[in-house]
């Protein structure tokens, strides 16, 4: 068994499909040549073989995963035909009498270094493509073993070093049984997305994986415990198959609760809303009974395209979401790129600390027209539903004021165009930076609501990168510092008379329910897949008992003690619940 980080719940059993990435060393014996004609012939043969191999991979990938994901391989074919790349290789053979593989390796290094120096994320990604194609060519020149792909088109477990949100955004969930990555933690955006799609995910395998996983290997991943089995024996397969059946049954039973109101046994009610990042997820949110959208991560509609979406394109998406939600409110968060979220067509500067850098509201305030276009689109959608605006990563009163100033300009422009929108639209902020907690009383006077983003708050308060698997064990949402910050944020909001919701991953963790009830949070917004689990827990809880446990937690001094108390309480609770879904 290999221990990773259980990032998205569920069990997956199936064959691995490893996203190819490889590097080759050159043998000392094949450096120079005197037979140029032979080297050119070898080079052309290598190009021909690489081309047909890429075409096969592209077609197989298209069939298994879909058209869009397979486009990457068309880009790879174009590199094989690129005259600049090919001239560089031919020039090295011709002028320096070097063997074809040496020429290819030197050409790759040349272009990769050149693109890397450009300080441009897009070009860096192109450098990766050149490396990938060049390495495939090298593989053929060196006679290295073939990449083995799944012989059939059965759904598979996707294995990769790491996966970016833009790689995941168009993945076909019916083809991917599960995901295992070498790097990454529990709250990366790829993980959040896969949770929303109901795909089990184990990350952070790099340190414990001794032998690389191969495409076609039979494997089991357990996204709850972070366990991975390669070539499991029969009894392990039987054990996990039965767990998977139980999970499915439990899910079906929970679905019966979709239309039931989320209220504790003693009458305390909480709004359970959904976090969404696409129209597709909106359908799941509705299916699982979300009463609203507490966080629409709009950056995902900016991804996997070549240009920024226009005002109209955005408006259509926001309007669709607003109309689908009917009377429920829809909180649309303005663009939150930077950190682990990038747009191919909007290169961000290379930064040592991207999470502390050019991100979220900082970009919006810097790129005013971009921001205003989005605000106009959101405003227009407010005519069709209960739409609210939310600014991400606020750390000062000035930022809220500047953003509101631009919002007023956007309103004025719509007025001039005679377009209807809700002039009293509510505007709130994310509380996810420690500075915002410290001045929550001041910010509350400038905002209509707060939404606590615990994913970022935990990383900033504890100085623990949410993406770094080396320190994932230090990422403690139940740290006393976090509990105190949650308490002071809610108190500031209460004093100012504005509502507070929680939209970080903590909202979807059943163990934290006592805290929300004691603190008096109004709304929990979570991945749609978590909604029914949380509702089930609420329906079976007594708010009075929960409050007592939470009060005890707030007195404890260590994360370990707090987590243990919440775990024990949750376990005791789980065995006494009345709706039989376990
Ligand atoms: C958060 O930081 O908790 C949050 C909800 O925002 P995101 O995960 O998109 O950064
Ligand atoms: Mg955040």
CB 156 within 8 A of CB 129: no
Query: What sign for the dihedral angle of Cα 506, 508, 512, 515?
Result: positive
| Gap between the Cα atoms of 183 and 163, Å rounded | 9
Model pLDDT, residue 325: 97
CA distances, 135 to each of 24, 85, 251, 383 (Å): 7, 13, 45, 54
- Top mutation candidate among 191, 334, 336, 359 for ligand 1, by most atoms within 8 Å of CB: 336
The pLDDT profile of the chain, 582 residues, written as one tens digit per residue, is 999 999 999 999 999 988 765 556 676 666 777 788 888 888 999 999 888 878 876 776 566 445 655 666 787 788 888 888 888 898 888 888 888 888 888 888 888 788 767 766 566 556 667 777 787 788 788 887 654 444 456 889 999 888 777 667 656 777 899 999 998 888 888 888 888 888 999 999 988 888 889 888 999 999 999 999 999 999 999 999 999 999 999 989 999 999 999 999 999 999 999 999 989 899 999 999 999 999 999 998 998 788 999 999 999 999 999 999 999 999 999 999 998 888 989 988 889 999 999 999 999 999 999 999 999 999 999 999 999 999 999 999 999 999 999 999 999 999 999 999 999 999 999 999 999 999 999 999 999 999 999 999 999 999 999 988 889 999 999 999 999 999 999 999 999 999 999 999 999 999 999 999 999 999 999 999 999 999 999 999 999 999 999 999 999 999 999 999 999 999 987 765 555 444
Give the ligand 1 atom nearest the CA of 452: 3
Q: Which residue has the tokens 């000392």?
A: 28
| Gap between the Cα atoms of 265 and 536, Å rounded | 11
Give the ligand 1 atom nearest the CA of 392: 6
Give the ligand 1 atom nearest the CA of 187: 8
Q: Which residues are catalytic?
A: 189, 503
- Pick the residue whose CA is nearest to atom 3 on ligand 1: 453
| Gap between the Cα atoms of 514 and 511, Å rounded | 7
Q: Which residue has the tokens 């075409």?
A: 55
- CA of 488 from ligand 1 middle (Å) equals 19
- Pick the residue whose CA is nearest to atom 10 on ligand 1: 456
- The structure tokens listed for 210 are 């001794």
Give the ligand 1 atom nearest the CA of 456: 2
- Top mutation candidate among 455, 461, 462 for ligand 1, by most atoms within 8 Å of CB: 455
Sheet holding 201-203, edge to edge: 2-3, 227-230, 218-222, 11-18, 156-160, 176-181, 201-203, 5-8
Nearest bound ligand to CA 502? 1
| Gap between the Cα atoms of 360 and 549, Å rounded | 36
Q: Which residue has the tokens 């995941």?
A: 168
| Gap between the Cα atoms of 480 and 566, Å rounded | 13
- CA of 505 from ligand 2 middle (Å) equals 10
- Pick the residue whose CA is nearest to atom 1 on ligand 1: 453
Main-chain dihedrals φ then ψ at residue 183, nearest 5 degrees: -115, 180
If you ran DSSP here, which 8-state letter would residue 23 be given?
A: -
- CA of 503 from ligand 1 middle (Å) equals 7
Pairing of strands 218-222, 11-18: antiparallel
- CA of 351 from ligand 1 middle (Å) equals 20
| Gap between the Cα atoms of 233 and 243, Å rounded | 16
Model pLDDT, residue 356: 95
Pairing of strands 176-181, 156-160: parallel
Binding site membership of 508 for ligand 1 (Cβ less than 6 Å): no
| Gap between the Cα atoms of 514 and 264, Å rounded | 11
Binding site membership of 297 for ligand 1 (Cβ less than 6 Å): yes
Model pLDDT, residue 581: 44
| Cα 432 versus chain centre, distance | 17
CB 337 within 8 A of CB 302: yes
CB 380 within 8 A of CB 419: yes
Nearest bound ligand to CA 298? 1
- CA of 508 from ligand 1 middle (Å) equals 13
Continuous segment of H or E residues that includes residue 140 = helix 121-142
- The structure tokens listed for 325 are 């939600």
Pairing of strands 293-297, 271-276: parallel
| Gap between the Cα atoms of 401 and 405, Å rounded | 6
* Domains defined for the chain, CATH in brackets: 21-142 (1.10.274.10), 156-253 (3.50.30.10), 269-574 (3.20.20.60)
Model pLDDT, residue 67: 66
CB 273 within 8 A of CB 524: yes
Model pLDDT, residue 77: 86
Model pLDDT, residue 148: 46
CB 274 within 8 A of CB 525: yes
């Amino acid at each position: 068994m290999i221990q990773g980080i259980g990032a998205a719940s569920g069990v997956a059993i199936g064959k691995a499909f490893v996203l190819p990435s490889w590097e080759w060393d050159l043998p000392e014996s094949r450096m120079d040549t005197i037979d140029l004609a032979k080297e050119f012939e070898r080079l052309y043969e290598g190009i021909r073989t690489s081309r047909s191999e890429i075409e096969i991979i592209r077609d197989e990938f298209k069939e298994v995963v879909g058209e869009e994901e397979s486009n990457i391989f068309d880009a790879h074919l174009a590199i094989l035909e690129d005259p600049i790349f090919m001239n560089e290789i031919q020039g090295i053979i011709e002028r320096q009498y070097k063997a074809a593989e040496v020429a290819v390796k030197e050409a790759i290094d040349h272009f990769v270094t050149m693109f890397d120096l450009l300080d441009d994320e897009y070009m860096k990604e192109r450098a990766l493509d050149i490396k990938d194609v060049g390495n495939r060519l090298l593989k053929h020149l060196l006679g290295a073993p073939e990449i083995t792909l799944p012989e059939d088109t059965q759904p598979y477990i996707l294995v990769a070093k790491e996966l970016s949100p833009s790689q995941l955004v168009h993945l076909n969930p019916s083809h991917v049984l599960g995901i295992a990555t070498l790097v990454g933690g529990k709250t990366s955006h790829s993980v959040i997305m896969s949770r929303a799609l109901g795909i089990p995910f184990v990350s952070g395998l790099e340190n414990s994986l001794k032998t690389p996983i191969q495409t076609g290997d039979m494997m089991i991943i357990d996204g709850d415990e972070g366990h991975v089995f390669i070539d499991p024996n029969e009894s392990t397969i039987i054990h996990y198959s039965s767990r998977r059946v139980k999970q499915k049954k439990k899910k079906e039973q929970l679905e019966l609760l979709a239309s039931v109101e989320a209220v504790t046994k003693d009458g305390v009610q909480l709004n359970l809303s959904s976090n969404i990042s696409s129209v597709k997820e909106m359908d799941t949110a509705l299916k699982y009974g979300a009463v609203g959208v507490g966080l629409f991560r709009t950056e995902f509609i900016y991804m996997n395209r070549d240009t920024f979406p226009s005002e109209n394109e955005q408006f259509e998406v926001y309007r669709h979401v607003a109309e689908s939600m009917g009377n429920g409110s829809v909180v649309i968060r303005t663009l939150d790129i930077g950190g682990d979220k990038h747009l191919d067509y909007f290169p961000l500067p290379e930064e040592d600390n991207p999470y502390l850098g050019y991100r979220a509201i900082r970009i919006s305030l810097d790129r005013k027209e971009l921001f205003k276009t989005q605000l106009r689109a959101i405003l227009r959608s407010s005519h069709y539903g209960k739409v609210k605006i939310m600014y991400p990563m606020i750390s000062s009163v000035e930022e809220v004021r500047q953003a509101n100033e631009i919002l007023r300009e956007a309103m004025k422009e719509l007025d001039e165009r005679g377009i209807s929108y809700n002039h009293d639209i509510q505007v709130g902020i994310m509380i996810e930076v420690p500075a915002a907690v410290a001045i929550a009383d001041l910010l509350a006077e400038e905002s209509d609501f707060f939404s606590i983003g615990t994913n970022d708050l935990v990383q900033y308060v504890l100085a623990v990168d949410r993406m770094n698997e080396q320190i994932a064990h230090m990422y403690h949402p139940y740290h006393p510092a976090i509990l105190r910050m949650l308490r002071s944020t809610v108190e500031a909001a209460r004093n100012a008379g504005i509502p507070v919701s929680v939209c970080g991953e903590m909202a979807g963790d059943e163990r934290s329910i006592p805290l929300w009830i004691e603190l008096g949070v109004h709304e929990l917004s979570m991945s749609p897949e978590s909604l029914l689990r949380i509702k089930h827990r609420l329906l079976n809880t007594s708010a009075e008992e929960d409050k007592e446990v939470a009060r005890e937690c707030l007195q404890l001094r260590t994360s370990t003690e707090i987590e243990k108390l919440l775990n024990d309480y949750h376990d005791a609770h789980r065995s006494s619940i009345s709706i039989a879904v376990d």
